[in-house]
Structure 1
């Protein structure tokens, strides 16, 4: 049986005992949105670039209504108290440790994990390295890292041109700030982002821009995209109008998942699935969670 369906009361997180608004890891302080019943099965939702936990705003109410407790952090580089300057501090091992610290702060020995974009990349690695903590994985947009690496031999390299440009020190920050953010606003609009303004505000703030781009600059660290096979139940959602991530890596992901696996293609949808199709994504996620309930 799936998780019990119950609607939780809306309340002020800052006044509820046990409700999280912040947690600490690696000497940093992270902001987190904590919604749903405190005794519900935990779902940790990881945002991507250039976003925050607000990108899950359309998805979370559906999960909360179904009885899940959803923890959505503003990840490293995005939370004001968690913006280290050193690129090495954006290593995947540290990003994974941030999520485990959040789960520990919430008292969640095991949890469901959903991630979009870079959040999915963290999710793949976490599910591989800590299958004892991850009950299920839902990756949105970004494929398994090994499938991604192999696709670079084809057209994926052209789709990911910006990741190479971000390696030039200071270049991304200058582009983001150009013409009051108009350049980046138009770039994001061309990718299909429904409302670019929150992302524009992030990227025109020099502190946030550097933290966000450091995720890409850390790609040059040894073993950055080294992720093994996945044994936990996995749902992978990809959209066929994603300008950043092509079909080859998406379809190749199945070869790296040993556990129960479902691959869903959303036709006519851009890269920004959580904002563009929140109800549809939530429905797929709830089917996934119901099929693989978290043992209490």
Structure 2
């Protein structure tokens, strides 16, 4: 379905039986709501409804101009507005990559809307920024973001040679060519990849360092083969949660946890959801 919120139109995909609560699913870069295809069945079997949003920059009807429009707080406000339109007072939230940062921000800004939080791969914004400031390993891991902040140049490079570099990003995810295509295909739409890259250009220190602790029950899931997120940022995440907190480490798994380890992810998310049904 398409949901009109905050002057934008979002592609939103709902599924599951309902009656047992709702899980909001937030994807990352350079993916879309289909990244949850392997996770959703386990949530549905548990009696949960899922709401997966193609976030701003990814929904064709939600590609505002300008870098400032892609600050993480704007995406968190989008999520809350979509919930308003759908008549959902509060939900369980599950986010991966940039979707993880949006999930953290939603829990910070609107804790009354978040029953539980399961953040995947990307740490709490303050934990991440402090690691970038103090940990040389994390700075090296995140160095690609410097290129991505130059959206036009990065988009041209990623789309060149039949999207060779963009496709290579999914190394280690265990995806077939068809699986990779479900992410790469939408990025060929005019302006789509450039809009998605604006999330990186919009990153500012003040948004991350000033982020408050999270006050809702939280699980943070990290994988030891994640090339973007190091152990120091991951293990410091708990310092930014004042409610019940669990750290789940997946071994032998890359950054692309929803694709590579959907069952383990679903089990960890369900354990968190059941702590506050």
The alignment's TM-score, normalised by the length of structure 1, stands at 0.88
Among 143, 152, 167, the residue aligned to 2:149? 167
- Deviation (angstroms), 1:200: 2.4
User: 2: distance between equivalents of 1:203 and 1:34?
Assistant: 22
Q: Aligned residue for 1:218?
A: 202
For residues 63-109 of structure 1, give each alpha carbon's deviation from its aligned partner in whole angstroms, at most 9, with x where no partner exists: 11111110001010001111112111112222111101121122111
Structure 1: where are the runs of 5+ without partners?
1-20
1:254-274 deviation line (CA, Å, top 9, x unaligned) = 111110000000000000101
Could you say which residue in structure 2 is the equivalent of 1:6?
A: none
Out of 22, 33, 36, which is 1:56 matched to?
36
Match of 2:84 in 1: 104
Give the Cα–Cα distance (whole angstroms) in 2 for the partners of residues 57 and 187 of structure 1: 19
CA distance in 2, matches of 1:34, 1:94: 22
1:151 counterpart = 2:135:
no
Paired residues of 2:129 and 2:208 also in contact (CA < 8 A):
no
Verify: 1:135 aligned to 2:135, yes or no: no
C-alpha distance after superposition, 1:135-173 (max 9, x if no partner): 110000001111101111211111111111122241111
Is 1:41 equivalent to 2:32 in the alignment?
no
* TM-superposed deviation, 1:238: 0.3
2:158 maps to 1:181: no
Please report how far the alpha carbon of residue 222 of structure 1 lies from its aligned counterpart in structure 2 after TM superposition: 4.8
Query: d(CA) in 2 for partners of 1:225 and 1:71?
Result: 30
**Match of 1:66?**
46
Runs (4+) of structure 1 exceeding 6 A deviation are: none
What is the DSSP-based 3-state SS (H/G/I as helix, E as strand, rest coil) of the residue aligned with 1:219? coil
The 1-side partners of 2:219 and 2:168 are apart by: 32
Tell me the residue number matched to 2:250. 266
Higher share of residues assigned helix:
2
- In the alignment, the residues of structure 1 paired with residue 100 and residue 34 of structure 2 have an alpha-carbon distance, to the nearest angstrom, of 16
Q: Which deviates the most, 179-188 or 95-104? A: 179-188
Q: Is the 8 A contact 2:130 2:209 kept in 1?
A: no
Supply the distance in 2 between the matched residues of 1:110 and 1:104 (Cα, whole angstroms): 10
Q: Does 1:276 align with 2:256?
A: no
User: Given the alignment of the two structures, is residue 82 of structure 1 paired with residue 94 of structure 2, yes or no?
Assistant: no
Instruction: Deviation per CA, 1:124-144: give whole Å up to 9, x if none.
Output: 111111111111100000011
Provide the C-alpha distance between the structure 1 equivalents of 2:244 and 2:236, rounded to a whole number of angstroms.
Answer: 16
2-structure distance, mates of 1:143, 1:223 = 14
- Number of residue pairs matched by the alignment: 272
TM-score by length of 2: 0.93
Select the structure of larger CA radius of gyration: 1
Contact 2:119–2:221 under 8 Å retained in 1 = yes
Unpaired runs of 5+ residues, structure 2, are: none
